[in-house]
Chain A
Amino acid sequence: MNLHRRNLLQFTAIFTLMASAGLITEAQAEEWNKAAFEGKSLDEVFNALGTSTPEKSSLISMNAPDIAENGAVVPVSISSNLKAQQIAILVEKNPSTLAAQFFIPAGTESFVSTRIKMAQTSNVFGLVKADGKWLMTSKEIKVTLGGCGG
């Protein structure tokens, strides 16, 4: 653990230069799918991803709690038996529906785990694009009010 941290710090120093040079180029940064992330509904996001409403599929699974103790951090992972090219996480009742999307090259598993914010109790959708076609699964995650509320 400590050893790892020390290594990390050394690398930090060495790679500062590289970071400022930038491994993500400005041109790549431009590719961020603004339209999809600005979508305010499921349909708008589906549209921006170039699909009609995806078919529900049992080949996609979502691992997430039924109840989140705090909406600021909700762990969600999506996986599939299909060879995913792309994965997306959508939260129906968030101000912006699309939370994140992931591009999965060959050699990388059809799996991602991350943590998202939820404004309120909502259906959460896990989308997987495989063989050029989007499929999805969904579940409701309840967001509870925490602490003293003050």
Chain B
Amino acid sequence: MDLIGYENYFWLSTALFSIGILGILIRRNMIILLMCIEIMLNAANLMFIAFAYKWGNMDGHIFVFFSMLVAAAEAAVGLALMVLIYRKFKTVDISYLDKLKF
């Protein structure tokens, strides 16, 4: 029996994704949140690769490639924002960011 089937990778990636969500929900440090987002992205990437392997189709790789690009861009802008926020509020605690209301 081959464990390296899409099924097992599905469980793995689901678990990773849930861990990412968990992190987002229980942590307040914005940088940790960013990290958790990366975990979730990676869970999705993993799924792509697993299915690409399953179907013998390399389109999935391309998608992962692009999602990495986006993640990189996001990290760059996101971190720049975070530095800015820290300078302004002197904290990275998202519960202080409650100005987003009417």
A, B assembled together: no
